Structures are given as structure tokens and as C-alpha cells.
Structure 1
């Protein structure tokens, strides 16, 4: 079954949760599951290179039936027709010689999946789940800027700075970021490499309660501004480089991001934070957003 040679267009950066498009292909994935491919989708697929935000789920209504979308993953088609999925993709994300596809994994297809090709489809994302994940992702970025601001006095050397001009602890130390419907979990390595760059980790464990209080106070101030959150979208393709922006009191905070987000900070009533050090000395930050 031929696969599209043009990248999937995505509408989730603008907040879309519904869309209509014909089915272009129904490939069987290497793990045996069936996926449906369309030219334009509101579904957010898991990013195989930085899998922080889970994929959207929902339904696809096609041929008089409704198929549950249980996952949405990234696939790619090479110039010679090679098809790869997720971590098996052999080229860098966005390689222009490849077509990048959102693969809507469906639980069960009655009959032959190939029979759906060409049929008009309605794509519907689970909007409540999307809103929760968007809140988690926006909170994750706010936490990053708040940590950068709070930990700025610990730097003894000049290092790269964030868009607000503060030492970019988040970018320099982060090793993992994961989100679910309840919030986000970010892990930061506080090791020799970071210390050599000039980060002072002395008494960090003892200081964590004060750091947390300062971070939460700053986040509370930002939420009260009800600042607009927007996504800079250079193009509609799945792998186009998008940038998250938020107008905070100290300036335009921005960071590259391929996920979904809230429209305004006022959509959050509160944002709780937990900071701990794990057994290996890594800083673990949990955010727990409360939507209004």
C-alpha cells in the first residue's frame, strides 16, 4: 500500500481538536497495530526524539463507523520508499528528504483497513484529555523559567541564558521531561559537568524548601497576569520548528516546543511544585496545575 510522500499537516498548535480529511493510507505498523494516515490532522503524535507529551487519543469516524484512536505516533517515509516508525527512524527529525507522518493507531478495524483508503473521515480528539496535557505542558515551561530565575544566584560563571536573560539551568541540566494529565515531571542532573560550568550545588538539599517557596511565589505572580500564550508556527508540517511564547512581566519568554498548550495563564487557578533530590543527586521537579 503506497504511503504519502508529503508530510502530515497538523492543526493542534492552534488548539484544534477536530478536523476532516480523507484516509490516505492504512499501514500495518512493525508492532502489528493498524494506523490511519490523513493529510491534515488535529491529533498530536508522540515525538520520538523528545517524548515529553503523550499522544492524543480520540476517535475517527469513517465509513459509517467510529474507530477508537488509542495512540498516535510519528512515522517517516524515505526517498526510496523506506518506512520507519518512532525510534527506528534512521534520520534526524525533520530531514527534508523524508515525509513525516502522524500515524493514528486504531484499536480495531472491521474488515480490511485498505478498504478505508479514500473515504472521508472526521477526526475528533479527546478534548478534555488534551486540555489537561496542555495545562501540564504550559506549566512545565513556566517551571523552567521560574527555576532559572530562582537558581540564577548559584552560577559562578557565565553560561548560556534563557530568553529572559537568566542562566538557563533548565536547558543545561535537564535529562528527562514527562507529562500526564495531572502535571509534569522534570529531572535535572546535578553532576560534575554542571559544576564545571559554574553551578554551585552546595547545600542544595537543605535549601530546597526555600527554593520551592520562591518558585511557587513567582509562578503565582505570573498566573495573576493572565498573560497570553501563543505558538509561533512557521508552517503547517508536522516537523516544522514551532516556538512557545508567553509575555511574562520580565519580557517575552520563549522556547522551542512541539506540543500543545493553553491559550492564557488565567486558565490555571494555581500551580503547585514539588522539588526533591533523588538517590543519585538529581533534582526532580513535579508540577501540579489546577485549571480554573
Structure 2
């Protein structure tokens, strides 16, 4: 089985949900599922190193048939031809000696998948699902900046700051982020390490209702600005280091991000927040965006 030695080009950072490209390979994945590799795709694959945004789903039309794309995962081909998928990839994401591939996992393929290699393919992402996931991802980022702003008075030492100059609680404390079509969940560890850095957690749980109200009020102000959201894209390769930007009233909020996003904050009608403490003393933030 010949696999590409050039990384997949992706168009989802610009918001694309459709595209056309030749089929380059049709590997069977280690778990037995058939997959297709194309030269360029609008599909967003799951990032196995920080699996916050789920993979796109949709269909691919090739060889006169329409095939359901039920998953999209990251694969990599090494300089010696080694093929690995997701967590089994033995090198750091973006290693320049490896080719990085979006693997379009199919529900089923009639006949021999290898017969599809070389054929032109039409790729169509489930646009409504993508829009919901993009809303969740954009909401997750602006929540982080709002949370940093509201929690800033709790720091008694100088620490790393976000792009708006505030102590970067989100970056320093986050342990896990997950999104679905309804919103996002971010988990923050508030332990000895964060306290040593200068974060004051005294009465944090009791203060959460007030913190939530401040965060929601700030987010409501930001949504009213209808600020532009854009993705800085240095190149088309799947693993190119992309950066999310949003022009908030206090400046250009930006953070490295490989996911998909809305085009403007005005695409959100509202953003509800829930803040709770988990059983281990950590903070859990839930976002529930309402699209306009």
C-alpha cells in the first residue's frame, strides 16, 4: 500500500465545508476500518495530542457512490514508510520528517477500496454540525479570556500573561478541554503548583456565583461588538501552527489553535456559563452558546 509522503492540505481553517480532490490512498486502519486519503480536504480531523474538538463527519462521493465519513483521524507516515495512527504516532505532532495525513474513516466501502485510488472525490462536511462545533470552540476561547480577566485580582505574584496582558489562568491551570455540539467543558486544576505560582483560591467556591455573573456580563459586552474572528494560517499543511485571533475591546486576543471557528462574535446570540468545583477541588467551566 503506497501512502502519500506529503502532508494533507486542509481548508477548514478558512471555513470550507466542501471540496474536491483526488484519492491518494485507501488504507485499512489498525482497527480494521477503511479510510481514504486525499490531497486536500475540508474535513477537520481529531487532534490526538489535544483532542478538544471532535472530528468532522459527512460524505465523500467517489467512483459513482456516496460514502459516509463517520470519523476523521490523524495519521502519519515516517521517512522509512512507517504508518501510524493517532496515539500510536511515535513522534511529536508536526515533525517535519513525517507526512501528516487526514484519514477519512468510512462506514463501509463496496468492493475493494484500492479501486478508488486515483479517482476524483467530492468531499462534503456536515455543515450544521461543523457550525455547532465552531460555535463551541470560539466560545471556549473567549470564555478563557473573560475568566482570565475576572480572576486577575486573585494573583499575588507575576505569572505568564495572555495576549491581553492578564494573568493567564486558563493556560496555567487547564488540564482538559472537550467540545460537542452543545458547547464545551474545560477542567482546571487548582492545586499546590498553581498556589505556589501565586493564585489565591481562598473562598473560591463560595465566590463562584459572583465570578460567573462577572464573566457572563463581560462576554455579553464582547458579543455586542460583533468582533471579527480570524485564523492566521502560515501554510496549508494539516499540522501548520495556526493562531486564533479576535479583536476584543481591550486588544487582539490570540492563542494557538488547530480547530474550526465562527467568523464573527455576532454569530452568537448569547453565551451561558456554569462554574462548579469538582470533587478534587478543581474548577469546571461549561459554556453553552446560543447561535444567532
Fold match by TM threshold 0.5: yes
Counterpart in the other structure of 1:104: 104
Counterpart in the other structure of 2:206: 206
Deviation of residue 256 (structure 1)?
A: 0.1
Query: Aligned equivalents of 1:34 and 1:191: distance in 2?
Result: 44
The SS at the match of 2:195 is helix
User: Does 2:142 match 1:148?
Assistant: no
The SS at the match of 1:270 is strand
User: Does 2:263 match 1:273?
Assistant: no
Counterpart in the other structure of 1:254: 254
- Stretches of structure 2 that go unaligned for 5 or more consecutive residues are none
Deviation of residue 9 (structure 1)?
A: 0.2
Deviation of residue 95 (structure 1)?
A: 0.1
Counterpart in the other structure of 2:160: 160
The SS at the match of 1:60 is strand
Deviation of residue 174 (structure 1)?
A: 0.0
Counterpart in the other structure of 2:178: 178
Counterpart in the other structure of 1:22: 22
Counterpart in the other structure of 1:71: 71
The SS at the match of 2:60 is strand
Query: Aligned equivalents of 1:17 and 1:183: distance in 2?
Result: 20
Equivalent positions of 1:22-171 (< 5 A) are 22-171=22-171
The SS at the match of 1:133 is helix
Deviation of residue 76 (structure 1)?
A: 0.1
Deviation of residue 219 (structure 1)?
A: 0.2
Counterpart in the other structure of 2:263: 263
Structure 1 residues 22-60: Cα deviation after superposition (integer angstroms, max 9, x where no partner): 110000000110110001000000000000000000000
Query: Aligned equivalents of 2:278 and 2:240: distance in 1?
Result: 36
Equivalenced residue count is: 292
The SS at the match of 1:179 is strand
Deviation of residue 288 (structure 1)?
A: 0.1
Q: TM-score, normalised by structure 1?
A: 1.00
- Stretches of structure 1 that go unaligned for 5 or more consecutive residues are none
Query: Aligned equivalents of 1:182 and 1:55: distance in 2?
Result: 15
The SS at the match of 1:128 is helix
Query: Aligned equivalents of 2:230 and 2:262: distance in 1?
Result: 8
The SS at the match of 1:273 is strand
What is the RMSD computed on CA atoms of the aligned residues? 0.3
Deviation of residue 188 (structure 1)?
A: 0.1
Structure 1 residues 50-74: Cα deviation after superposition (integer angstroms, max 9, x where no partner): 0000000000001111000000000
Structure 1 residues 86-141: Cα deviation after superposition (integer angstroms, max 9, x where no partner): 00000000000000000000000000000000011000000000000000000000
Query: Aligned equivalents of 1:59 and 1:6: distance in 2?
Result: 23
Deviation of residue 170 (structure 1)?
A: 0.1
Counterpart in the other structure of 2:193: 193
The SS at the match of 2:259 is coil
